[in-house]
Chain A
Amino acid sequence: MKAFTVVTSKIAPLDRPNVDTDAIIPKQYLKSIRRTGFGPFLFDDWRYQDPGDLQIDPATRRINPDFVLNQPAHQGAQILIARDNFGCGSSREHAVWALDDYGFRAVIAPSFADIFFSNCFKNGVLPVVLKPEEVQALFEGVAKNPDAQFTIDLPAQQIKLPCGNTFSFEIDAGRKHNMVEGLDEIGTTLQKADAIRAYEARRAQQAPWLFAS
C-alpha cells in the first residue's frame, strides 16, 4: 500500500452531506474486474450530462460544467472536502479506488460512514474527521481562494491552513502506523499465523460445530 505522510495541495469543495458510494462510483462500473481505471468515472452522474458505462470512452462524453470538480479552479486538487456522513451506502471499495485514481490522497469531512472509512485505510487514502465548524472554515477558505495550499501532516495529526492556523485530528494509533509505513496488512497478519491457529484449536474445543466440515 502507498504510504501517507505529508500532502500539500489545494482543496476541492464538494458541498453536500450524505455523499453515497453509488454517487461516488455508479454501479455500471462495478462490473469491471480490475482495481484501477475508475478515476474518469468518479462522481459520474454529476460530472457528465450523458450516461456512461465501461464501454464508452469518457473523453467523448458531455461534461457538466456546473459540477465543482469540472471547474478549472479545482483541477489538480489532491484533497476533497465534503459534509457529514461521506461514503455512506454500499461497501464498494471501488469508491476509494475511484477517488485514488482521480488523484485524491485525502478526504476531509465532519463524519464518514464506517465501511468507506475503513476501506480508505487499505488504499492509502486518508479520511480526516474535523469538527463541522473547522470543515466550514475550510469551505470558506477555498471559496475565497481556490488556489490556497493546505498541508495534511499525518505524523503530526494536523492540517495547516494558509493563514498559519492548524486544526488537529484524531486517528487510531494502529491505523496511523499502517498508513505512515504503507504496510501490507495481509502480510502483517500472516506473521501471526500461529496465533490464528492457536485460536482455531481453542475454539474448536468450545464450538466444534463450527469446524465440523
Chain B
Amino acid sequence: MSRNDPPKTLYEKIWDDHLVEDLGGGLSLLYIDRHLVHEVTSPQAFDGLRLNHRQPWRLAANLAVPDHNVPTVDRALGIKDPISRAQLEALDANCAEFGITKFELMDRRQGIVHVIGPEQGATLPGMTVVCGDSHTATHGAFGALAFGIGTSEVEHALATQTLVMAKAKTMLIRVNGPVGPGVTAKDITLAIIGRIGTAGGTGHVIEYAGEAIEDLSMEGRMTLCNMAIEGGARAGLVAVDDKTMAYVKGRPFAPKPEHWDAAVAYWSTLKSDPGASFDKVVEIDATSIQPQVSWGTSPEMVLPVSAAVPNPAAEADPVKRSGMEKALKYMGLEAGTPIAQIAIDKVFIGSCTNSRIEDIRAAAAVVKGKKKADSVKLAMVVPGSGLVKEQAEAEGLDKVFLDAGFEWREPGCSMCLAMNADRLEPGERCASTSNRNFEGRQGAGGRTHLVSPAMAAAAGVAGHFVDVRTLS
C-alpha cells in the first residue's frame, strides 16, 4: 500500500488481488486459486463440461476427495448402498477422465474436504478458495477468501478458473477480552450466531477480530469461520499472524523453500489496515460467553448451558413466535426446562466444525477414566481425516474413547448430515459438535443440539447436558 491509498479491509485486499475484470452491472470476474471437489455437488458439473466439450482450465488448482457419503466402519468392505457407491464411482471416473488429483477412500490423507485442505497446505493465506459446500467458509481462518458455491459455479470454476461475483459488504465482529476457562471456539461462534441471527451476516463477509480471536489456535479459528455461514455470511475471515504461518509451514502443498520468504512477506500484509471502514461492526464481550447449547431447529436458537428452554409466549414478533413454537414441538421440549436437564440418546463428535486433533483431545480429556452413561445408546467419535485419526491414535486417544464405551470411527462427514449409514432415528436426541440443527438434518425426525466437543463428551458421560466448567 502506498501512503495515499485509502485503508482497506482484508476482504478488499484479497478481492482486489483476484480481480480479473470489472464486468459492470455490479458483477466482477474473480480469479479462483483453489477449488476443492467432493462427490455430492460435482457430478453434474463434470457432466456439463463433457456436454460442452470443455476441459478444466488449470488442473493443479483442483483437489478432490470423497467425504459426504463414505462409511465410517468396515471401509475395506466397500460401500453397501448402491446409490452412494455410484456417486463415489462417478467422482473416481470424473477425476480420472479429467486428470484431477484425488485422495482415494483408502488413502490415509482422505477426510472431510474442509479438514484436508488446510491439513495439506492446499489452503493458503490470501487465496481464493471455493468448494461446492457451504462450509468452505472454514478456510477463512487462514486469511483466505473462501466460500461455498453451487454446482453451476463448480462447473464455472472448473472451466474458467474464475467466478462471476457481486462484491459483498463487510462486517467486523470484534470479540473483546479473553474467554473464560472451558469456553471454546465453538461457544464463541454459537454465541455470535445467537447474537446476530442466522441472517445477520447475509450479503456480508465477516472478519473476526479481537483478543479472543487472536488467542485461538488455527483449529479454533477454523471452527469459528466454519459457522460464518450459519450467521448468514458466505465467508468469514481472520487476519494472518505468526500462528497462521507456523501452521502452514512444511505442509505438502505449502510454498517450497525458494518461495517461502516471498510468501511470508506477502502474507504479512493480509490484515485490515488501521482505519479501514466496515459496513457493520459488532462488539462482543468475550468474558460474558458461556458454553453454549442450541435448543431449537435453527443455529440462532442457542443459549448458555445455564439457561432454560425459552417460552415462545414471551416473544413479541409473531413470525418468530410461531417459529419458536414449531421448533419446540419438533424438538420435543417444554418451555422453562433447564437445558442441563435435557437427556440425550446419542453423541456425535465430528464434522468439519469440530473433528480436528484439538477437538478430539478436548473430548478425550473429558471422557478419560469415565464411562458413557447407560442411557446413551451411542456415542461416536469421527475424526476429520485419516491423518487426524493417526495422530489421535499415536496419542492413545482412541483407547480413551473405547475404554469409556465411545465408538472410534473412520473419517468422513458421517452423522453431520447422515448421508451414509450414521444417523438419528425419529425422536432421538443428539449432543452434536456439527453445525446445523435443522429438522431432519441428522436423520428424519432426529433432534440435534449443537455443542462443543467437550460439552458433547460431557453429555455422553452424564446422559444429559452439563456445564463442562463444573467437571473436576
Contact = CB atoms under 8 A, between A and B. Distances in A.
Contacts, number: 208
Nearest to A90: B134
Contacts of B20: 192, 195-196, 199
28 contacts: A16-B326, A17-B323, A18-B323, A22-B441, A23-B438, A23-B439, A31-B419, A33-B86, A83-B319, A89-B438, A113-B232, A115-B147, A115-B148, A115-B234, A119-B150, A174-B23, A174-B166, A175-B27, A186-B160, A189-B159, A193-B160, A196-B161, A206-B266, A207-B126, A209-B256, A210-B127, A212-B259, A213-B253
B199 to A, nearest CB: 4
Interface in A156-213: 172-177, 185-187, 189-190, 192-193, 195-196, 199-200, 203, 206-210, 212-213
B69 A31 contact: yes
Interface stretch (A3-11, A60-68, A91-99, A146-154): A91-99
Interface stretch (B37-45, B334-342, B378-386): B37-45
A212 B256 contact: yes
Interface of A: 16-18, 20, 22-23, 26-28, 30-35, 45, 51, 54-55, 83-85, 88-94, 96, 111-115, 118-119, 122-123, 172-177, 185-187, 189-190, 192-193, 195-196, 199-200, 203, 206-210, 212-213
B298 interface: yes
Interface in B385-420: 417-419
Interface residues of B, number: 83
A186 B126 CA distance: 25
A18 B27 contact: no
Given A35-B44, A172-B26, 9 more contacts: A22-B439, A85-B199, A94-B151, A115-B149, A185-B152, A190-B54, A196-B20, A199-B31, A207-B126
Contacts of B326: 16
Interface in B38-82: 40-41, 43-44, 47-48, 52, 54, 57-58, 60, 68-69, 81
A169 B234 CA distance: 23
A91 B266 contact: no
Contact of B43 (A27, A33, A115, A206): A33
B15 to A, nearest CB: 13
